[in-house]
Amino acid sequence: MLLAKCVLFLVLQVLSCYGEFFSSTSGLAKLFETEVVLLAELQNYVNEINQHAEALQSEIDAIRVEHLNAADGIDDYLNNPVNAFRLIKRLHSDWETFEGSVTADSSRSNYLDTMANLKENLSFPSQDDFVGSAIALTRLQQTYQLDVAELASGILNGVKYGTAMSWQDCFVLGQHLYALRDYNHTVPWLQQSMQLLGEQSYGSESASLDFMEAVVEYHREMGAHESALSLVNHVLSIEPDQRSHLLEARQQLEELITDGDKNGLLHLTARRPGDYHESREFRMYEQVCRGELAPLPSKQRNLRCRLRKSRLGYAPFKLEELHLDPLVVQLHQVIGSKDSDSLQKTARPRIKRSTVYSLGGNGGSTAAAFRTSQGASFNYSRNAATKLLSRHVGDFSGLNMDYAEDLQVANYGIGGHYEPHWDSFPENHIYQEGDLHGNRMATGIYYLSDVEAGGGTAFPFLPLLVTPERGSLLFWYNLHPSGDQDFRTKHAACPVLQGSKWIANVWIRERNQDNVRPCDLERGQEISLHYRDFD
């Protein structure tokens, strides 16, 4: 009972925290190091109190021996002057000594002082990190249609990657999703939590059943009547007499289910009309990420793999055509692992939350929930690795890299993603003062790491999914030859399911590129206009 109460209490505690870590896996190592230190300090505290407890236990055992001897005849025992003296002595001085020993024990205060100091000097996650990681789990759950029970067991797409979540983990996740008003995801996580709680050795104890009763109220408020009824029946099956007050609740729930009642938070908070996440386009994006939507064989028939000669004397490029119109190609084995590692190492100390250009068209940028990654930008002259990336793109495409934006190295966080977007700027985009380089004509993505699961680059309108392959370069044009936006090139970064995704983004502007890609005299954007305002 005491154990159950302690566990039930601990699940409700909130950790003091600082910093942002959910938007990049790069910083998670700092959090792991923090927990290593905290674990060592807690172990030291436990060792100290164990030593103190062992000393007190030896005194207890000695006194119990005296009491066992006295049990044979209390009068005979007390009539012995030695025994009488020892009893008086214990109560007069020994018990005062025991009390003083407990009072003087500094292990608790030492531990708390150490913890206070560590919180000032170690990395801790913030509330935003906690919420961000919770949302990431539900994003993975929805995008890849993951079963909650499997996800809680550490199984991702049928593969066991890590340890299982506890019932407390599932409950806290459900509790925060409830606070975020994401009730559709709250229900299954609370169900999983209660199932796991029932399987514990203390799952049938009164404290656990009290907790289940509290969760019943969550389900009732949300209008999840079936879930509430199932939990009520479970509690009544264990303590029918002590929980007879639930009989009325059961009857009410059964009537609501029979009547098809649709009251509750689940039904009051339907998604707003025009919600992008309910659009056909977003569903297509998720289908591409899952591999359910792919180019038809007839569209792939004319695709080729070939060697493309380097103009600068490098080894020929191993080019694979992924799509012809618009042209999307992947160059394999462009850079080696040494350069990939070097770029990651260069970026780690400088990465910060990635931003997007403001939709207000004022030329500014801001962090956004639809892009969870961290990045750092570098001039291509930074070092040998950055220079090499610039040379390879210029060599392959023929484009003038003097008109490329700074290289951006990015690392995606927990469930890291970037929802469908265009790299090119809209017609109403306001360029920053002095920016005379024009729109983003072309994009190159260097994959600096493999990704175990998820994390692909999805083109919902093509529809095409490109799997990250370390050392390769993905390249396409964002504009028609007329300079108009090619709306078919809308693309996204699918959520990272397992692993760490590192990329380097190359954006090349249209100024002074006429010798390679002359501007058409007629606008040729009609073929892609349909995708500008796609439902």
Q: What is the predicted pLDDT for the residue at 18?
A: 43
pLDDT band at 174 (very low <50, low <70, confident <90, very high): very high
- Calculate the average pLDDT of the chain: 90
Q: What is the predicted pLDDT for the residue at 357?
A: 63
Length of the chain: 535
Mean pLDDT for 511-534 is 90
Q: What is the predicted pLDDT for the residue at 77?
A: 85
pLDDT band at 489 (very low <50, low <70, confident <90, very high): very high
Does the pLDDT at position 369 exceed 90?
Answer: no
Q: How far is CA 320 from the centre of its chain?
A: 33
Does the pLDDT at position 24 exceed 90?
Answer: no
Give the global pTM.
0.85
pLDDT band at 279 (very low <50, low <70, confident <90, very high): very high
pLDDT band at 363 (very low <50, low <70, confident <90, very high): low
Q: Tens digits of per-residue pLDDT, 64-85?
A: 999 998 888 898 888 878 888 7
Residue recorded with tokens 């610039």 = 390
Mean pLDDT lowest among 10-14, 292-296, 468-472, 529-533: 10-14
Asked whether 329 and 476 are in contact (CB, 8 A), the reply is yes
Which of 30-34, 45-49, 168-172, 442-446 reaches the highest mean pLDDT? 442-446
Does the pLDDT at position 17 exceed 70?
Answer: no
Q: How far is CA 324 from the centre of its chain?
A: 35
What's the CA gap between 400 and 141, in Å, rounded? 43
Q: What is the DSSP string of 121-182?
A: HS----HHHHHHHHHHHHHHHHHTT--HHHHHTTEETTEE-SPPPPHHHHHHHHHHHHHTT-
Q: What is the predicted pLDDT for the residue at 270?
A: 58
Ordered alpha helix ranges (H), 144-205: 148-152, 167-179, 183-198
Does the pLDDT at position 364 exceed 80?
Answer: no
Does the pLDDT at position 25 exceed 50?
Answer: yes
pLDDT band at 1 (very low <50, low <70, confident <90, very high): very low
